[in-house]
Amino acid sequence: MRKGTRLTMAVAGATAVGLLATSCGGGDDGYGGGDGGSTVRASWGDPQNPLEPANTNEVQGGKVMDMIFRGLKRYNPETAAAEDALAESIETEDQQNFTIKIKQGWTFSDGTEVMAKSFVDAWNYGANIENSQINSYFFQFIDGYADVHPEDEGAEPTADTMSGLEVVDDHTFTVRLTEPFSLWPDTLGYTAYSPLPQAFFDDHEAWLEKPVGNGPYMIDSYSRSQSMGLVKYDDYAGDDEARNDGVELRVYTDNNTAYTDLQAGNLDVIDDIPASQLKNVESDLGDRYINQPAGIIQTVSFPLYDDAWSGEDMVKVRQGLSMAINREEITAKIFADTRTPATDFTSPVLEESGGYEPDLCGDICEYDPEKAKEMIEDGGGLPGGTVTLTSNVDTGSHRQWMDAACNSINNALGDTGACTVNPVPTFADFRNQVTGDSMTGMFRSGWQMDYPLIQNFLQPLYYTDASSNDSGYSSPDFDDLVDRANSADDEDEAIDLFKQAQEVLRDDMPVIPLWYQNGTAGHSERVSDVKLNPFSVPVYTEVTVS
Amino acid sequence: MGRYVVRRLLQMIPVFIGATFLIFLMVFALGDPVTGLFGDRAPDAATAARLRAEFNLDKPVWQQYVLYMGNIFTGDFGTAFNGRPVTELLADALPISFRLMLVAIVFEIVVGIVLGVVTGLRRGRAADTSVLMATLVVIAIPTFVLGTTLQFFLGVQLGWINPAVSPAARFDELIVPGIILALVSLAYVTRLTRTSIVENARADYVRTAVAKGLPRRRVTVRHLLRNSLIPVVTYLGADIGTLMAGAIVTERIFNIQGVGYQLYEGILRQNSPTVVGFVTVLVLIFLIANLLVDLLYAVLDPRIRYA
């Protein structure tokens, strides 16, 4: 009997723990937004960093930023052209000193007015090293950046604010850049340049719990890494106001589940269709499947800091390797046409008026195995007879396309051991190896544009010692053309010079352009007018619910 | 009994320290996570250095470990890269995984033991053979396949359940994921119970009980089953930990934001505070579950005594 009691107690204890666990989760389903009205239910991923404009550099956090903030400029979701949002006028005489007037009547969703100070304070915050903002380099063009963000590790800032920013009156401020940059006003649509309300500086922690911005939506509820409910901001002053009552972002731990939820009618908008569903997505969704160009290009870089790859004749080897990769087949078979073979170093979203040049690369980006073999042998052959192709393999279909690309090269060279894949387990590890200049063969490089300008596809990647110049490429001709483009008097002239700089790249081939990446999305029958902007983020404001 | 428990609790301390240190080393060996935060862009040295200092990544590994352990004892499990304290992540994720585990384990115990007893008592008959075949099939098919198939049929085709579990993760939503999670263990529980029952059915004490003229039901439940449960309880004890930590696949399929998901994200982003924090708690759960199992032995088998 005594034992029996003990057993009973054990069971009773377990039950009590169970009930305790239940009580935590009872009640509603825990989603932020309401089910009623015309709320759009959309898929989301957990943002990597805290949600603040100068600290958001990936697409999940970017989705929210795009909904709750408007900057001086906004990129037209269809044409990618930079159009005035809060900017009344941005004037300059010398492409270096700018006078910015902002429109009146814009408010943050806490009721305070957006003023010149809102921008200046936000930019100073984003640039200051003490705030460890990942996007701080965006402010590097502004005079005084070096004082608030010294380059050396461990150095302390010598100023609190950048000397190049000055508030003139409530709705005017001036910006002085360190050097001329003719396209600078067009970069101002990037999230990092958003204005911030006083509340951000008064109580930063509270603001992060529930960010307040000046965009078409405001955050109603936010339970971190689970969901976010956004509602239409009724006093929004812009002309792209929301056509629905709100958006409910739901975090999915796996995009496949989001896709299944869309099929079951529990979700309205999913962006980034999972690779495993691409084969059947057209039959599943029909015309509710969206597949359109985005400002992303994938390339393969060479370690030009390695003597084996930087020799005079090696350009032929690099161009030969480019011709040995069958882009058409890989984009069709592995990516189900969600990639398009690349023919230049930019992106089709720029359109030809913005510098995209569909004929730039010509034969060098066409698959021609015989010519490829000839070119590689002409250039002295692969260094050591073999080459590796390195990338992280934790996301995307990197492993698959690398295998295919290597196969393609091996077939062209008639040598099964010429190209081998070197998989790296995590992205962070891969980036450590790349930024540590420890590559010995080809490696994956990709670029998602910050703003739709040809400058953004060239300067950060190929200018000498630029922030994303992973291959260590350095060309005086290229640098000179970029410098001249930045100080050009008007945009057309600037774009023309950037196009010439692109020709230098083609002739030097520090990287092989592979393909342009598309954005993919799908939506339910409950909603319509779903489209993606050039950053492959759904344009939530235009979605209508029937 | 009391002394035994105290001794076991003291033994937990070196196990705990050793396990956390090993995990710490493993996450550390993955390399520097800060570069990954900057995407396809080389981090500017100054900001990266600030971030490393903020997360103590600029110090040697032993010092990081000492700092981390020191903080743990004050209840501070560190901060994830997205700015959330790990304790907050734990408070969100643990109850969810616990509920999922509870559903799975209840299912395992009830169905597994009943099937085990039935097959054990009818050894060699049709029921026995077919259940054995079924368990074989369940063990052979990966959870991933079973999970997504069931999710598609019940969630999309029939519309009986929501394919994704909401953040609240109520018990009724967790039934299907719980069953999927339990299936493989269920097969083992069935087989273990069956073998054990078959063995003990011929034991002397069972023959005595039958000879005493006890009703068949009482012989089976009180005498035969109770003794046969010892290996099963051992298995279940270890399984509690496995079910909580090893639900990564099931949790991802059904969008359950539990321990498995947080661990997965933590590993992918090389976020040592998250990974070590969760593993620490899991180690504790493992240790306590094992202690409880050992104590349960005495309840089940009167011959076992702890001193």
User: Which pLDDT band holds residue B158 (cuts at 50, 70, 90)?
Assistant: confident
Of A117-126, A533-542, B29-38, which range is least confident?
B29-38
**Please, which pLDDT band fits residue B28 given cuts at 50, 70 and 90?**
confident
Average pLDDT value for residue range A8-16: 44
Residue A225 identity: S
Tokens at B284, concatenated: 């504790």
Cβ-defined contact of A48 to B256 (cutoff 8 Å) = no
Helices assigned H by DSSP within A270-326: 281-285, 307-310, 314-324
- Give the best residue of B82, B150, B297 to mutate against chain A (max A CB count within 10 A): B82
Using alpha carbons, list the distances in angstroms from residue B177 to A230, A248, B27, B103, B173: 30, 24, 29, 9, 8
Q: Does position A18 have pLDDT exceeding 60, yes or no?
A: no
Contacts of B28 in chain A (CB under 8 A): none
> What does the pLDDT read at residue A518?
92
Please report the pLDDT score of residue A404 as a whole number.
Answer: 93
Taking CB atoms and an 8 Å limit, are B256 and A253 in contact across chains?
yes
B228 touching A, CB under 8 A? Answer: no
Task: Count CA within 13 A, CB hemisphere, residue A522.
Answer: 25
Read off the pLDDT of residues A261-302 as tens digits, 9 standing for 90 and up.
999 889 999 988 988 888 899 999 999 999 998 999 999 999
* 3-class SS shares of chain B: helix, strand, coil, % to 5: 75, 0, 25
Structure-model confidence comparison of residues A225 and A110, the more confident one = A110
- Amino acid at the residue A414: G
Q: Cβ of A225 and B54 within 8 Å?
A: no
Rounded mean pLDDT, A189-209:
93
Whether residues A261 and B163 touch (CB distance < 8 A) is answered with: yes
- Amino acid identity, position B19: A
Pick from A12-26, A433-447, B43-57, B248-262: least confident: A12-26
Residue B96 to residue A446, Cβ atoms within 8 A: no
- DSSP per-residue codes, B13-47: HHHHHHHHHHHHHHHHHT--SHHHHTTTSPPPHHH
Distances (CA, A) of B51 to A154, A204, A496, B33, B34: 11, 18, 40, 10, 7
Do A137 and B44 count as a contact with CB atoms less than 8 A apart? yes
Share of chain A above pLDDT 90, in %: 62
The pLDDT tens digits for B180-237 are 999 888 998 999 999 999 888 888 888 888 898 888 888 888 888 888 888 888 888 8
pLDDT of residue A524: 94
Nearest CA in chain B to A468: B41
For range B280-297, the mean pLDDT = 84
Asked whether the predicted pLDDT for residue A485 surpasses 50, the reply is yes
- B296 has a chain A CB within 8 A of its CB: yes
**Measured between CB atoms, which of A22, A225, A427 is closest to B36?**
A427
CB contact under 8 A, A426 and B254: no
> Å from A57 to nearest chain B CA?
7
Contact between A389 and A403 (Cβ < 8 Å): no
What band does A29 get if pLDDT is binned at 50, 70 and 90? Answer: low
Q: What is the pLDDT of residue A212?
A: 95
Is residue A415 over pLDDT 70? Answer: yes
**Band of pLDDT at residue A27, cut at 50, 70 and 90:** very low
Mean predicted lDDT score pLDDT of chain B:
85
In the predicted model, is pLDDT for residue B35 greater than 50? yes
How far is residue B255's CA from residue A252's CA, in Å, rounded to a whole number? 6
pLDDT exceeds cutoff 60 at B176: yes
Picking from A48, A155, A254, the nearest residue to B253 by CB comes out as: A254
pLDDT in the model for residue B79: 81
pLDDT at A49: 85
Q: Which 25-44 residues of chain B touch chain A by CB within 8 A? A: 30-44
Contact criterion met (CB < 8 Å) for A48 and B47: no
Distance of alpha carbon A410 from alpha carbon A139, whole angstroms: 45
Q: Is B95 in the A-facing interface, judged by CB distances under 8 Å?
A: yes
Distance CA A387, CA A443 (A): 10
pLDDT at B190: 92
Which helix (H) or strand (E) is B260 found in, with range?
helix B259-268
So what's the pLDDT on residue A17? 44
Quote the mean pLDDT of chain A.
Answer: 88
CA of A24 vs chain B CAs: smallest distance (Å):
8
Whether A225 sits inside 8 A of B89 (CB atoms) is: yes
Token couple for A125:
């915050």
Cα B286 versus chain centre, distance:
8
Distance CA A402, CA A383 (A): 19
What does A336-364 look like in DSSP terms, one character per residue? TTSEEE--SSS-GGGTGGGT--TTSSGGG
- Say if residue B157's pLDDT is above 50: yes
Query: Would you say residue A2 has pLDDT above 70?
Result: no
A258 reaches B (C-beta below 8 A): yes
Q: What is the pLDDT of residues A60-99, one digit of tens each?
A: 999 999 999 999 999 999 888 899 999 999 999 988 999 9
The pLDDT assigned to A16 comes to 44
Portion of chain A with pLDDT greater than 70, in percent: 93
pLDDT at A6 over 60: no
Is the pLDDT reported for residue A359 higher than 60?
yes
Q: Which chain A residues are Cβ-neighbours of B229 within 8 angstroms?
A: none
Q: Is A380 left (phi over 0), alpha (psi -120 to 50) or beta?
A: left
For the full predicted model, state whether its pTM sits above 0.90.
Answer: no
Least CB–CB distance from B99: residue in A25, A57, A469: A25
Q: In what order do the strands lie in the sheet with A165-169?
A: A87-92, A97-102, A172-176, A165-169
On the question of pLDDT at B45 being above 80, the answer is no
> What pLDDT is recorded for position B257?
87
How confident is the model at residue A288, as a pLDDT? Answer: 94
Question: Hey, is the C-beta of B5 within 8 angstroms of any chain A C-beta?
Answer: no
Residue-wise pLDDT for B68-121, tens only, equals 888 888 878 888 877 788 888 888 888 999 999 999 999 999 999 999 999 988
CA distance A542 to A534: 15
Q: How far apart are CA B90 and CA B170, in angstroms?
A: 18
Task: Say whether pLDDT at A9 is over 50.
Answer: no
Tell me, what's the pLDDT at A357? Answer: 92
Position A32 pLDDT exceeds 60? no
Q: In B, residues 189-218, which contact A (CB 8 Å cutoff)?
A: none
- pLDDT, residue A168, reads 95
A390: enclosing H helix or E strand: strand A387-392
DSSP tag of A242:
-
The residue among A153, A205, A249, A449 with the most chain B CBs within 10 A of its CB, best to mutate, is A153
